Amino acid sequence: MPRLLTVVVLGLLWSVSAQAQETKVTLAVLGFTADAKQMLVQLEDDNVGTNLRLYDVAAGQPAKKSALIPFQRGESQKVIKETRKKFKIVDPGLEDTIYPLDPNDAEKTLNFFGLMATRDRFVLAVTDRQKLGKIADVAVKHDEGADVWAKVALKSLYWTTDRKWLVAIITQKLKADGLLTEVDEPHALAFQVKDIRWVEADPPPEAKPADAKAKD
């Protein structure tokens, strides 16, 4: 086999091998049913393509007997419209990491973000610009054989229009033994401001009696 052809073939084989060692799945929420019990999700998987699927909101998992609905980019609007009608997805929802506390004061808001509390625990957190609060804990994926922990990030936050439910899309990226997985996970919960677990600030140190000699 000529040298140039050998190089090309080996390059193709390496490329195929590299692709086979990577799994990437991204999610986006396209809307909710009127009772917020189910949501339509768009999934993009490098291995199986782009699909729609109905999910149960509270569980954050595909609904029973739901199947993947594949579609091509050129037909996305038509397929999404038909699927919304089929599953009665009437609430478009909204994507936002900011929660307004006062409709008359744009400065009074909650801002959501993610942070690593420990290597095995990721936290969906919130701040009102004065204090820090916690919404939920997310377990971090772990490869025991390689003793490697995933890198986790908050990708996006979706709400029902009435702001009673939120769905956090958390991305976990884990690389171990030559295999890279980067997968979006939906974490849903009913939201009320009163349920925020605010972090208590450390109390100020107690004042110590002044040194009598210092006064002299």
Residues 76-84, mean pLDDT to the nearest whole number? 95
Domain that holds residue 177: 21-198
| CA distance linking residue 209 with residue 96, whole number of Å | 51
User: For residue 144, is it within any domain?
Assistant: yes
Residue 204 lies in a domain: no
Structurally, how many domains does the chain consist of? 1
Residue 163 lies in a domain: yes
Is residue 101 in a domain? Answer: yes
pLDDT at position 5 is 36
For the four alpha carbons of 44, 45, 46 and 49, in that order, the dihedral sign comes to negative
pLDDT, position 9: 34
9 falls within a domain: no
> Does the model's pTM come out above 0.85?
no
pLDDT band at 16 (very low <50, low <70, confident <90, very high): very low
92-116: pLDDT as tens digits: 999 999 999 998 898 899 999 999 9
Residue 46's pLDDT is: 83
Percent share of the chain, pLDDT over 70: 83
Residue 60 located in a structural domain: yes
Q: Does residue 211 form part of some domain?
A: no
Mean pLDDT for all residues in the chain: 85
Q: Who has greater pLDDT, 47 or 181?
A: 181
What residues have CB less than 8 Å from 38, skipping those under 6 apart?
Answer: 32, 54, 55, 56, 57, 63, 87, 89
CB 86 within 8 A of CB 31: no
Q: What is the mean pLDDT of residues 180-204?
A: 87
Of all residues in the chain, the percent with pLDDT exceeding 90 is 69
Confirm whether 11 is domain-assigned. no
